[in-house]
Chain A
Amino acid sequence: MLRIENLSLTIRAQREEIPVLHSVNLTVGRGESVGIVGESGSGKSMTLRSILRIEPDGSTVTGRITFDGTNVLELSGEPLRRLRSHEIAMIAQNPHAVLNPVLAVGRYLVEGMHDAQGMPTRAAKLRAGELLEQVGIDDVDRVLRSYPHQLSGGMLQRVVIAGAIAGNPKLLLADEPTTALDVTTQAEVMAILDDCRRELGMAMLFVTHDLDLAAAVCDRISVMKDGVVVEDGVPDQLRDNPRHPYTRELMASRPASIAWHGSKGATA
């Protein structure tokens, strides 16, 4: 469905050309979940942004990104807008950057559906409630009436996920969506994201610095360093049998010897 071939990207900053991506290859099949794991500066976010053509101004992009057979790099105008509103959705680390601080959360969702899908306002209102239930929110009515500053980070990220899945996109791009959250909230949001994805049959490209986090929700993982995919494989293989020295270094940096293997609740 998504195929990235030989993607290279150079950013221009103060007349200097900075190469960011070098011949990146990556595929995501229909309904498949793929992770990109890397540290800061590895190019993982930039790969994600190129797919929606939101790379920084003045960047030079070469290679091919095809989505359902169309070369995304050649799109502009209405077809590009359609790709962004109907086919591919994106969530990022900071929900505040997406939500309008002076709009109640309900209106944000309703306007989104109205503008992107042309859904009548009344239907969109009903749908907004359903979406919030889907992302595990109990007091839907209160949340719909709330403004972003009245809600916690975990709640806001759920609202953003609800907005992202509203149009039934085929692919969700997730750029460190839980990094700013507390660990227990992170775990809940990850579980919700995974459940939603499976229920909707939506594919996901999940970017993170945490290999175990990616392994929890991804079928395959690509490890990136300095703009290059150094290794890809299924999570177990990367963990048990890493081939590239960098993947091994990543593993060694986070020793996994916590003896705890689940609570009574987890085994029941």
Chain B
Amino acid sequence: MMSSPIVVKHLTKTFRGTRSSGPVLALDAVNLIVEKGTCMAVVGESGSGKTTLGRIIVGLESADSGTVAVGGRLVSGRATRRERQRRSSQIQMVFQDPQSSLNRRLPVRVAIDEVLRIHSTLGAGPRAERCTELFEQVGLEARHLDALPSELSGGQRQRVAIARALAASPSVIVLDESVAALDVTVQAQILDLLTRLRQEQGLTYLFITHDLTVVQQIADNVVVMRKGAIVERGPTADVLGAPQHPYTQLLLECAPRPGWKPQRGVIRALRDESEKL
């Protein structure tokens, strides 16, 4: 039997926190399964644990307890160098701001080529060809390969980050607020690109975001996180159309939409109700 690309069981993580805050429970026994070829959105506000969840799944952070299996292989504790490399050929991450993950002194080609050197046995010529191919896939032109990150727009840089993730030929991509810093028109283009790539290549996405409109644009399923726990989960249309948990209702109530008028009383009532649970 084929196992699901991401299986998370009872994942728990506590951060030491500051002297005044004390220990912070970032993840509280989280369970999550993402099926092959689907996009799962993880939605929540700051401090919900959504980013920590993504970082543990790709191996940038280790959990206190619980398990993560990626592509059927159990991943636990601190990974060895070889284990990290094996995992990165299976799962890649795209961050919010590619400016901080691309070397600003080097042409972006170097970033893609480096991944190909690690994850393939291709020689220099074929690697250069593959770079061009990857750039075409993400809607960039070959001439962009020799640009510095600063010579590209925010949307183009995010396309570079996606091309770099694809260079490792992963089956899963974790996207952490990957469109949050972009203008809305560019956001729509990147979301379209991501959906097309997923369909063409059978990729599986874990899409971490605070933005319900983005969830609706890209995800098949969604989990809603609050204070380290999943409070609601289900198909996107169900969760956004008929939210059961007061916190999900609060998030939806607060999302700007046509005809929306934020009201202090309504927001406070939903907030109080969700705090009680």
Contact residues in B for A215 (Cβ distance below 8 Å): 258-260
Q: Using known A-B contacts A255-B216, A257-B216, A266-B253, determine if residue A39 contacts B258 with beta carbons closer than 8 Å.
A: no
B260 touches A182 (CB 8 A): no
Within 8 A of B (CB), among A108-167: 136
Whether, in the assembled complex, A254 has its beta carbon less than 8 Å from a beta carbon of chain B, the answer is: yes
Within 8 A of B (CB), among A191-207: 191-192, 194-195
Whether, in the assembled complex, B243 has its beta carbon less than 8 Å from a beta carbon of chain A, the answer is: yes
A255 touches B249 (CB 8 A): no
Contact residues in A for B254 (Cβ distance below 8 Å): 183-184, 186-188
Q: How many residues of A contact B (CB 8 A)?
A: 36
Whether, in the assembled complex, B269 has its beta carbon less than 8 Å from a beta carbon of chain A, the answer is: yes
B188 touches A182 (CB 8 A): no
Q: Using known A-B contacts A184-B271, A187-B262, determine if residue A255 contacts B210 with beta carbons closer than 8 Å.
A: no
Contact among A39, A216, A260, A266 with B256 in the assembled complex (CB-CB below 8 Å):
A216
B185 touches A253 (CB 8 A): yes
A40 touches B216 (CB 8 A): no
Q: How many residues of B contact A (CB 8 A)?
A: 43
Whether, in the assembled complex, B184 has its beta carbon less than 8 Å from a beta carbon of chain A, the answer is: yes
Whether, in the assembled complex, A258 has its beta carbon less than 8 Å from a beta carbon of chain B, the answer is: yes
Complex CA gap A254/B218 in Å reads 12
Contact residues in B for A257 (Cβ distance below 8 Å): 216
A209 touches B184 (CB 8 A): yes
Whether, in the assembled complex, B46 has its beta carbon less than 8 Å from a beta carbon of chain A, the answer is: yes
Complex CA gap A183/B271 in Å reads 12
B256 touches A258 (CB 8 A): no
Q: Using known A-B contacts A39-B185, A188-B264, A265-B269, determine if residue A255 contacts B251 with beta carbons closer than 8 Å.
A: no
Contact among B45, B259, B265 with A183 in the assembled complex (CB-CB below 8 Å):
B45
Contact among B216, B241, B258, B267 with A188 in the assembled complex (CB-CB below 8 Å):
B267
Whether, in the assembled complex, A77 has its beta carbon less than 8 Å from a beta carbon of chain B, the answer is: no
B46 touches A182 (CB 8 A): yes
Whether, in the assembled complex, A69 has its beta carbon less than 8 Å from a beta carbon of chain B, the answer is: no
Minimum CB–CB distance from B150 to chain A (whole Å) comes to: 14
Complex CA gap A13/B122 in Å reads 45
Q: Which has the most chain A C-beta neighbours within 10 Å: B212, B216, B265, B266?
A: B266
Residue of B nearest to A188 (CB): B267
Whether, in the assembled complex, A14 has its beta carbon less than 8 Å from a beta carbon of chain B, the answer is: no
Minimum CB–CB distance from A197 to chain B (whole Å) comes to: 13
Complex CA gap A88/B100 in Å reads 37
Whether, in the assembled complex, A57 has its beta carbon less than 8 Å from a beta carbon of chain B, the answer is: no
B185 touches A249 (CB 8 A): yes
Inter-chain pairs besides A254-B188, A259-B242, 16 sampled, C-beta below 8 Å: A39-B184, A184-B254, A184-B267, A187-B254, A187-B267, A191-B263, A216-B256, A216-B262, A253-B185, A258-B213, A258-B216, A258-B255, A260-B241, A260-B243, A262-B253, A265-B270
